[in-house]
Amino acid sequence: MLRGGIRTEAVFLTGILLTFFPEGLHGRRQTSADAALVELCPASPGVKWRPCENAEEKKNLQKIHGGRASERLLGGFDDKAYLAGKQLKPGDDPYREHAFNLQESDRLGSERAIRDTRHYRCASLNYDGDLPSTSVIITFHNEARSTLLRTIRSVLTRSPPALIQEIILIDDFSSDPEDCQLLSQIPKVRCLRNGRREGLIRSRVRGANTASASILTFLDSHCEVNADWLQPMIQRVKEDHTRVVSPIIDVISLDNFAYLAASADLRGGFDWSLHFKWEQIPIEQKMARSDPTQAIRTPVIAGGIFVMDKSWFNHLGQYDTHMDIWGGENFELSFRVWMCGGSLEILPCSRVGHVFRKRHPYDFPDGNALTYIKNTRRAAEVWMDEYKQYYYSARPSAQGKAFGRFVHHTVILFPYIYIYIYIYKYF
């Protein structure tokens, strides 16, 4: 991570390198024309996968994820006993602990059918038959058992088994260790517990460091993935390892848990105070998109759900681990990806439902507002250069607030030469 004039030189040097080495140091990038593209269908339910033979198999693909095949994916795990271990007591406010209707979530249980909200053309798309597997990283702190288990089960039942290397749960010092420990009985699920409250950012880094797959999938703990959600994202990352891709994020109602389709004409944006917001795709970009299944380039991602290459994540320096708990990390990572030669995309053919809450159900050690100011100020100071003045104009309370120390490094690549630059600055 470079600042000021040093980063200007790095960007200039990057331009020179791309001029003379357009394919980068990793050789020619594979395109969709380089390999036969196939849709995967199960050879036997929930076990092995093979290319689909006809359109009828593709049409019926989602049906196979239910019933006995779904139960086998749990490996004998008793989901009903797990959920019964924590029940809302009569008379308790169902919104108090988790900021959503826990009673309705528990009523749904660990699995339910949801509507396929993709454009109809998405069902006819094909993907490489040799897609790499992914490590799914889910961090949580005092998550409701029903939403957490539904997240995990949706991943297992709506993903080709060959693509799920593992599901890594990072329990960020929840009150009840068994919330995570019991789930490790499910095949492919690993549970890691923090010895103290670390927050989303450092917890995700811990998960990434222990991941065994070459592709990382970050997922919030109150989601439900939709049909064929994973293949489009892994395909895009396989074709270009510097892409960071996100699904369209559908809405799960915090009141009745209805699954609602989100617009496919949105991209991520932000205001000068560094608050994330969804914005309409510019009209010129919308007019140029003749195919509704095409990827949407986005300035920033929401940050809760995305897929990226592990080596690229490490090369970029991962997250800024001096940020605390939650907030601002999506801007810092988004700025970093674009300014270091990568790209961000939202994929219309990948859909994941997410419970959007109106308040945080957990405490911030330094308070919600101060933590967010610290984190966003770090992003502004490192990456926004002369434009950070607009951040301070929009958020004058950030002036003079402590935001920790910087220990940043970046790598300038020459053929066969690596130069590491370390910058230490204290505030």
Report whether pLDDT(229) > 50.
Answer: yes
Rg (CA), the chain: 22
How far apart CA 71 and CA 282 sit, in angstroms, is: 45
pLDDT digits (tens, 9 = 90+) for 373-407: 888 999 998 899 999 999 999 999 888 877 776 65
The residues, any chain, with a CB within 8 Å of residue 366's CB and separated by 6 or more, are 324, 374
Q: Phi/psi of residue 274, each to 5°?
A: 60, 55
Let me know if 178 is exposed, middle or buried by CB neighbors in 10 A (0-12, 13-18, 19+).
Answer: middle
Residue ranges covered by each domain of the chain: 18-358
Report whether pLDDT(243) > 90.
Answer: yes
The amino acid at residue 347 is: L
Report whether pLDDT(60) > 50.
Answer: no
How far apart CA 192 and CA 211 sit, in angstroms, is: 11
Report whether pLDDT(363) > 70.
Answer: no
Average pLDDT for 302-310: 96
According to the model, what pLDDT value does residue 5 have?
41
According to the model, what pLDDT value does residue 328 have?
79
pLDDT digits (tens, 9 = 90+) for 15-51: 333 333 333 333 333 333 333 233 444 444 333 444 5
As its CATH architecture, domain 18-358 has Alpha-Beta Complex (3.90)
Beta-strand relationship, 215-219 and 134-140 = parallel
pLDDT digits (tens, 9 = 90+) for 315-326: 999 998 888 777
According to the model, what pLDDT value does residue 407 have?
59
Q: What is the DSSP string of 310-370?
A: HHHHHHTTSS-TTS-BSSSHHHHHHHHHHHTT-EEEEEEEEEEEEE--SS-SS--TT-HHH
Q: 421: which DSSP letter? A: E
According to the model, what pLDDT value does residue 426 have?
32
Q: Mean pLDDT in the chain?
A: 82
Report whether pLDDT(306) > 50.
Answer: yes
Is pLDDT larger for residue 391 or for residue 66? 391
pTM: 0.80
What is the percent of the chain with per-residue pLDDT over 70, rounded to a whole number?
76
Structure tokens that stand for 278 in this block: 């969804």
According to the model, what pLDDT value does residue 151 have?
98
Structure tokens that stand for 341 in this block: 């030669």
Report whether pLDDT(344) > 50.
Answer: yes
Report whether pLDDT(9) > 60.
Answer: no
How far apart CA 142 and CA 400 sit, in angstroms, is: 33
The amino acid at residue 200 is: L
* 19-28, 205-214, 338-347, 360-369: range with lowest mean pLDDT: 19-28
According to the model, what pLDDT value does residue 177 have?
96
Report whether pLDDT(367) > 70.
Answer: no
According to the model, what pLDDT value does residue 370 have?
78
According to the model, what pLDDT value does residue 404 have?
72
Is pLDDT larger for residue 328 or for residue 135? 135
